[in-house]
Structure 1
Amino acid sequence: MPTATCTPSREQYRTFLTLDEPYAHLMEMYLDDELVGVAAFDQLEHGLSAIYTFFAVSEALDKRSLGTFAILQLIELSREKALPHLYLGYWIEECRKMRYKQAFAPLEILDGRHWRPLIR
């Protein structure tokens, strides 16, 4: 069976990286004076929504759990803005690099049309 690929257009790529839309924001993460990660997120009516988080590649940084740090910072920002929810964004259960999202509770997933608790 053929597999589908989804290659963004040059314009989609440029727009994502420059975040021309007024609702999108970037949160930068630094270690000392070095930029080590960036989290892109939207602000919605009832919460923040993580779009994408990316990090510098380094064995030393892998041990720092920057994905978890990004979520903790977004939780704090949600609280500062008095927003009741943080949407952790896209999640693939089998993806090792996304497992850090499972550590947060209460955790719900959208099963297509309805939110349901994710019980581990």
Structure 2
Amino acid sequence: MGNKECSLFITYPIAQKAISTHYREIAGEDLHKILLANVELFRYLNSRYIKDEKLNEEVFNMAKTLYDPLVEKKGEKNGVKKGEKRSKLEVARNALVEGIEPHIIVKITGLPMETIQELQAKQENKS
């Protein structure tokens, strides 16, 4: 193995450790850009100096391993937020059916008055 190949093998684990240590501190879109740039840089260096396709695959898998949990966590947060909003809307609908005043529903659910009024209008149109 030549000096160039050796330095890539030394740098790769160091970079991997640095990224895996700090990736939680980097914002989602920035992390995506950093990982993509690292993968492309490694592919370029590999194709120019080492020419080992298996290394390209390993670097891609490393980046994917770091990125996938972040995407999953973001998806979970979005799902939880949507679920919470649906629950609040359901509580608001039920409260309107029971005749509870809209301003009280706003206090209970935290939904804006406009949303409660829209639900009330839909309910009145159904009747």
**Fold agreement, TM-score > 0.5:** no
* Structure of greater Rg: 2
Higher RCO (Cα < 8 Å, 6 or more apart): 2
Q: Which has the higher strand share?
A: 1
Q: Which has the higher helix share?
A: 2
| TM-score normalised per structure 2 | 0.29
